[in-house]
Amino acid sequence: MLRLERRPEASHLMSYASPAIAILLMLIGGLFLFAFLGKNPIEGFKVFFINPISDLWGVSELLLKATPLMLIAVGLAIGFRANVWNIGAEGQLIVGGIAASAVALHFQESEGAHVLILMIIAGCIGGMLWAAIPAFLKTRFNTNEILVSLMLVYVAQLLVSWLVHGPMMDPDGFNFPQSAMFEDSALLPLVFDDGSRVNLAFVFAIGALLAGYVFMFRSFAGFQMQVAGFAKDAARYAGFSARRMIWIGLLAGGAMAGLAGMAEVSGPMGQITDQVSSGYGFAAIIVAFVARLNPVGIFFASLLMALLYLGGEQAQQYMNLPSSISLVFQGMLLLFLLGSDVFINYRLRWKREVAA
Amino acid sequence: MEGSILSSILFATIVAGTPLIIVALGQLIAEKSGVLNLGAEGMMSMGAIAGFAISFETGSVWLGVLGGMAAGALMSYLFAVVVLTLMGNQVATGLALSILGVGLSAFIGKPYESEILPTIEAIRIPLLADIPIIGEPLFAQQSLVYFSWALFGAIVWFLYRSRPGLVLRAVGESPSSAHSIGYPVIRIRYMATIFGGAMAGIGGAFLSVFYTPLWVEGMVAGRGWIAIALVVFATWRPFRVMVGAYLFGGVMVAQLFVQGSGLEINIPSQFLSSLPYLATIIVLVIISRDQNTVRLNAPVSLGQPYRPDA
Amino acid sequence: MTSESGGSEALRLELQGITKIYPSVIANEDVSLSVKKGEIHAVLGENGAGKSTLMKMIYGVTRPDAGKMKWEGEVVHVENPAHARSLGIGMVFQHFSLFETLNVVENVALGLPGNPDLNQLAEQIVEVSNRYGLPVDPQRLVHALSVGERQRVEIVRCLLQNPKLLIMDEPTSVLTPQAVRKLFDTLRQLAEEGCSILYISHKLDEIQELCHVATVLRDGKVTGDCIPSEETPKSMASLMIGKELPVPEHNAPVELGEARLQLNRLNKKSDDPFGTDLQDIELEVRSGEILGIAGVSGNGQQELLYALSGEELVDDADSIVICGKASGRDNPDRRRVGGLGFVPEERLGRGAVPRMSLTENALLTAHHAGMLNHGMIKFDKIAEFARKCIAGFNVKCGGEEHAANSLSGGNLQKFIMGREILLAPKMLVVAQPTWGVDVGAAAFIRQELIDLRNQGTAILVISEELEELFEISDRIAVIANGRMSPAKNLADTNIDEIGLWMSGMWEQGAADGTEAQANA
């Protein structure tokens, strides 16, 4: 009989191998999915995973899509390490995007770097404000931050919908639910001059990953948050403030999600619509988990998740499949990961029944 | 005239509260066993599309509801394997289930987006349905509304009057004690979790087959999460789940009546639509302020993995 | 099926070559023992010797990897506890298998087959509890019961099924000495009625007093059988641990210095709805003394420790004075800076983070000792500190990079104790210093505490083991129902008096003299 048996000590090897196993299982699951849908699995695999990055333009699109994921995931990871479950990054992204857009629309006539700088600040603050609500309610009333942050996603979506149908609507936009296009001074500069759309936000994302790494693994505050995540009572015993960690955790996630929102409106979109996010706030949760809450992992997991987005678009275009197929892949990936994580602390053993 | 408005408000409130009741009571049972499944949104979505698709293809409402139930149960089985057998983190796995369910339902539902199901006739209970004001809301409803009441009665009886219910509560409080006096903790938790999933599936099917009745991506619109909040709000007591669900039902239909009332109120529809979500937050704040009530009623082992050492 | 050995008809239980292997340890190896009808049979061994695992196999909670079990002459494979109960085996667990939010009848019903009528069952409970002197109120919720009452519920639950064999796992660790005597009366009565009893303990005097025969386990193996009344504690101890019981070097009194901890009318309402409120606690611990606090668990020890450590703040800052500073509103970190050291009862998850390395666990409380540089961690410094702790306190581990949960209970306790001592506290608070620790480590830890006191540290020890407190304390006080007794010099008191006080009767005892010994 095959059974699970606790390892004497957690396996470091498995904690890195487990994401690889999960990715492999996701790919296998994908092959079955394509086969089930009556498509050629090999062809499906090619369209989904190879074609999107078969040229330089594709790779640059990959970086573009990965940028908000990196930003949000590193912010979330800081909180997740302390078991602060901010799952409302999607809403924080939207509010960050709104705040940045407000700045952009306000300074429509002006030139100069101050517009962008103010937009960045506004984006971060917008996201932080939205995240401060669950933080305040959690520290003050012990309200569950999962549910509150999630409810605020729906509220943020309705908020942006109202704004682009009302106060922020482009007066010359034929009543389309979108703002006017931003001036050049409100657009993030591009990083490469080869026509790709990768912008300065990618540099921010790399910076955020580095800063996140230092915070998590070198700073005492990061250590405190990890202690709280592993053993709440030990953190209390040591005298680490739980309130402070809740605030840090949520505000870090909020600021990064807000920045990602700013980067979307000021980057590829160039305006605000009611489709500010393509589900980046939720996808980043998966990125953070697959990456083991580690910034190095987040870099790679973001690329993978971005590939799933691009693959979904390709599958829609060339295989006539709904683009929501990428959500299916995302969900599978996380579920497989959580399942295969069991082997970090357990191993499989063949155990004979007791002889009668 | 006023009576008929009141009657239709009541009617709509009860209809809007019904899926919440079914889903929340299912989750209540799962949580009483100690399992926190945050995947209700995903299970409801799968229940909704499965229910709609099967009803549409077969023309049978009941096959649709059964299909929705099966889809929800299947999703929760997946969850149970990961958290009960493989000891995955319950919070993270629940999130994964939500994401997977919402995505998979959108994927499967693409071909059905422009379809519509025939409206299902209400079941009028003779005489009682003719009582003024409360007759229509209480006695001229669709079958699943009656089902939600039966479910409530059955769950109250099960939890507080039956032996298996006692065992379930015991497992949720102290799995290690239950194990040491010989109860199969993991098996009981599997059953409770799958029951929760089945109910979430029925709740989803109610939305797509009875309530709207059509399929739109994202149509569950946070009801799964609200149902989870409702269980907390109800401090794990079935009666308060009912009260809470109708409160939320009332909030959800309020906007329709404000807009349809012809009153000169100029409130953007988005603000009214956000009321259920804001109400959820307010309700959570109110209940969380009193930590003792929550602690006294919450299943002690909620969300914590348990594995007996063989 | 008949047994090959003669006279087996009187044997109720026979184990032959039972072996149970866990991934990291062999819990039981080739264990054989036999229990006669009406016999009180001790299974003796120190913490971690494999007693509990053996009992769980008899009761069907876990299954052996090899060996066989005979019940009344027949080979049986106990599938699960329900099966064991149907055979006539009952078990009272060390950490009770009760459900706090359910009442007594519901708890009892859960341990019985079928679907008993709860009203009828309540009557049966009262009847059985009267017959055996185990008073319990069937309608009360378990969380409102004292530990002693909870144990009675467990015993009554077993007795309702008319067991032929009753397994008691360390039953006296939660009782006052007086309550222990009453329990022994009940057990003797049961044995006379023909019920066999397997009595698990590591307390030699109890076994001598109660048990007819004893089987001694060490490292999972049987090291001998004996008749306790014919042995001395010394001879049994050497069977149990393979050498003589180490006794810490005696306590020469030290010159007392200044007061390091003063509790002035400390009041604290428990945050836990099932907890105990602290009421008007007065206490003083001075440099150079060990003050022991005795008490039955659940009488406010947890709450007191939380208040002392700063994990819970109290309203009145002046009610807790540490090294001269009013500290009631200070968090644990600030109290530590003020000179407080604290070793909690729970090692994994409170005193140490299970999944973190010993190095990281050193940082948990030692971060003030020059280990930070502008908020960044100096990893070489903490590793050095951890190595010093490992070497200085004899911690057996693979190295400072290994996770805390890979250490045995005793070694982890030595590490935590060492970490706190290396920080040179002026006032050290220790909870259950040797709980679940093997004899060697326990002796080491007690000796460390005494040495520390000799160097002038003030030490407060809270323990449920009276013997331990009498071994190391200079003065002793008792906590009962959230109130604190006056402290007595060790020379002026004895186990009986402290035992009596443990049921909250010090005021009465002071008022009407020294009688009222027996009924606690």
Residues facing A347 on adjacent strands = A5
B62 contact partners, CB below 8 Å, separation of at least 6: none
Does the beta carbon of B161 lie under 8 angstroms from any beta carbon of chain C? no
Mean pLDDT of A290-313: 93
Residue appearing with tokens 């070559």: C17
Give the C-alpha separation, A211 to C181, whole Å. Answer: 64
The stretches of C118-232 forming alpha helices (DSSP H) are 118-131, 147-159, 177-192, 204-210
Residue A190 main-chain phi, psi, to 5 deg: -80, 150
What residues of chain C lie within 8 A of the CB of B173, using their CB? 99-102
The CA-atom distances, in angstroms, between A193 and each of A60, A189, A190, A276 are 12, 10, 7, 26
pLDDT tier, A355 (very low <50, low <70, confident <90, very high otherwise): very low
Domain boundaries, chain A: 1-39+321-356, 65-296
Minimal-distance CA residue of chain C relative to A4: C23
Chains that touch B (3 or more CB pairs under 8 A): A, C
pLDDT of the residue at A281: 94
- DSSP lists the bridge partners of residue C477 as C293
Nearest to C309 among A7, A237, A354 (CB): A237
Neighbours of C88 (CB within 10 A): 17
With CB atoms and an 8 Å threshold, state whether C77 touches A10.
Answer: no
Number of separate domains in chain C? 2
B130 pLDDT band (50/70/90 cuts)? confident
- Please check whether residue B85 touches C, CB under 8 A: no
Cβ atoms of B92 and A289 within 8 Å: the answer is yes
CB contact under 8 A, B88 and A341: yes
Residue A355 DSSP class: P
**Closest by Cβ to C62, choosing from B174, B181, B310:** B310
Contact A137, A151 (CB under 8 A): no
Say if residue B262's pLDDT is above 70: no
Given the structure tokens 């422009």, which residue do they identify?
Answer: B114
């939600």: which residue's tokens? B148
Identify the three-state secondary structure at position C228: helix
A152 touches chain B (CB under 8 A): yes
Q: C241, C267, C298 — which closes off a domain? A: C241
Same domain, C225 and C303: no
Query: Same domain, yes or no, for C269 and C233?
Result: no
Range with the poorest average pLDDT among A65-79, B117-131, B250-264: B250-264
The predicted structure's pLDDT at residue C96: 81
The per-residue pLDDT for B263 is 61
B306 phi, psi to nearest 5 deg:
-140, 135
Spatial contact of C462 and C469, defined as CB atoms under 8 Å apart = no
CB A236 within 8 A of CB C309: no
pLDDT score at C25 = 78
CATH number for the region B2-113+132-297 comes to 1.10.3470
* pLDDT beyond 80 at C1: no
**Chain A residues within 8 angstroms (CB to CB) of chain C:** 5-10, 218-221, 223, 226-227, 230-231, 233-234, 236-241, 354-356
Q: Residues 6 or more apart from A179 whose CB is under 8 A from it? A: A101, A105, A164, A168, A169, A170, A173, A271, A272, A273
Residue closest to B156 by CA, chosen among B68, B32, B37, B15: B32
Note the pLDDT tens digit of each residue in C28-38: 999 999 999 99
- Partner-chain contact C100 B180, CB within 8 Å: no
Q: What is the mean pLDDT of residues A117-127?
A: 97
Q: Which two tokens stand for residue B290?
A: 């009193």
What is the model's pTM? 0.90
Subunits with 3+ C-beta pairs closer than 8 A to A: B, C
Residue type present at position C161 = Q
Mean pLDDT, residues A199-209: 96
Determine whether the interchain pair B166/C22 forms a contact, defined as Cβ–Cβ distance below 8 Å.
no
CA distance B166 to chain C (A): 8
The CATH number linked to C471 is 3.40.50.300
Residue C504 is part of which domain span? Answer: 259-339+425-511
Asked if A264 and A68 count as a contact pair (C-beta separation under 8 A), the reply is yes
The stretch C65-77 carries a mean pLDDT of 92
Q: Choosing among A219, A220, A226, which should be mutated to test the C contact, i.e. which has the most C CBs within 10 A?
A: A220
**Are C346 and A233 spatial neighbours (Cβ–Cβ below 8 Å)?**
yes
Q: Which of C224, C228, C211, C230 is nearest to C40 (CA)?
A: C211
* Residue A163 φ/ψ, nearest 5 degrees: -60, -45
Q: Which residues of C touch A241 (CB under 8 A)?
A: 331
CB contact under 8 Å between A220 and C377, yes or no, is yes
Among C171, C170, C158, residue whose Cα is nearest residue C107: C158
For residues A317 and A303, the answer to whether their CB atoms sit within 8 Å is: no
- Assign A172 a pLDDT band (cuts: 50, 70, 90): confident
pLDDT band at residue B83 under the 50/70/90 scheme: very high
Mean pLDDT computed over C207-226: 90
C349 at the A interface (CB within 8 A)?
A: yes
Give the closest of A6, A150, A328 to B103, CB-based: A328
CB contact (8 A) between residue B169 and residue C99: yes
- Is the same domain home to C215 and C282? no
3-state class (DSSP) for residue A81: coil
Q: Which of A233-242, B18-27, B262-271 has the lowest mean pLDDT?
A: B262-271
Residue C270: closest C-alpha in chain B: B292
- Asked if B1 reaches chain C (Cβ–Cβ under 8 Å), the answer is no
How many CB atoms neighbour CB A255 within 10 A? 22
Q: For residues A152 and A96, is the Cβ–Cβ distance under 8 A? A: no
C80–B292 CB contact, under 8 Å? no
Instruction: Confirm whether C351 is domain-assigned.
Output: no
Residues C37 and C175 in one domain: yes
The rounded distance, in Å, linking the Cα atoms of C435 and C449 is 15
The tokens of B298 are what?
């919450």
Beta bridge partners of C459: C290, C428
The torsion of the CA quartet C233, C238, C244, C248, rounded to 10 degrees, works out to -60
List the subunits that have 3+ CB pairs under 8 angstroms with C.
A, B
State mean pLDDT over C266-291.
Answer: 91
**CB of C199 within 8 A of CB of C207?**
yes
Per-residue exposure over B101-126, b if at least 16 CB sit within 10 Å of its own CB, e if not: bbbbbbbbbbebeeeebeeeebeeee
Residues of A in contact with C359 (CB under 8 A): none
Residue B182 has pLDDT above 80, yes or no: yes
Please say whether the beta carbons of B300 and C100 come within 8 A: yes
Is the CB of C60 less than 8 angstroms away from the CB of B182? yes
Tally of CB atoms within 10 A around C262: 19
Mean pLDDT of B60-83: 96
How many helices (H) and strands (E) are present in chain C, helices listed first?
Answer: 17, 23
C344: contact with A, CB 8 A cutoff: yes
**Number of CB pairs, chain B paired with chain C, less than 8 A apart:** 59
Same domain, C179 and C279: no
User: Are the beta carbons of B202 and B144 closer than 8 angstroms?
Assistant: yes
**Helix, strand or coil, per DSSP, at residue C247:** coil
The pLDDT tens digits for C135-185 are: 889 999 998 888 888 989 999 999 998 899 999 988 887 788 888 998 999
Closest chain B C-alpha to C206 CA, distance in angstroms: 26
Whether chain C has a CB inside 8 Å of the CB on B182: the answer is yes
* Spatial distance between the Cα atoms of C267 and C283, rounded to a whole number of angstroms: 12
Residue A14 has pLDDT above 80, yes or no: yes
Residues 266-285 of A with CB under 8 A from B: 282, 285
Percent of chain C with pLDDT over 70: 94
**Looking at beta carbons, which residues of chain A come within 8 Å of C375?**
219-221
C376:A220 CB<8 A: yes
What pLDDT, on a 0 to 100 scale, did the predictor assign at position A217?
A: 95
Q: Residue ranges of the domains in chain B?
A: 2-113+132-297
Put simply, whether A85 touches B (Cβ < 8 Å) is yes
pLDDT tens digits, residue range B215-247? 998 899 999 999 999 999 999 999 999 999 999
Asked whether the beta carbons of A137 and A148 are under 8 A apart, the reply is: yes
- The answer to whether B173 faces chain C, any CB pair under 8 Å, is yes
Using the beta-carbon criterion (under 8 Å), do C81 and B182 form an inter-chain contact?
yes
Instruction: Please give the C-alpha separations between residue A322 and each of A314, C112, C166, C232, in angstroms, as whole numbers.
Output: 10, 56, 65, 82
- CA atoms of C294 and A47, how far apart (whole Å): 72
The C-alpha atoms of residue B96 and residue B118 are separated, in whole angstroms, by 34
- CA dihedral over B82, B83, B86, B88, signed as positive or negative: positive
Q: In B266-281, which positions are buried (b, 16+ CB within 10 angstroms) versus exposed (e)?
A: eeeebebbbbbbebbb
User: Which of C24, C349, C377 has its CB closest to that of A233?
Assistant: C349
A108 contacts chain B (CB < 8 A): no
Q: What is the DSSP letter of C505?
A: -
Same domain, C89 and C177: yes
Beta strands in C421-490 (DSSP E): 427-431, 458-462, 475-480, 483-484, 488-489
Which C residues 249-278 touch B at CB under 8 Å?
272-273
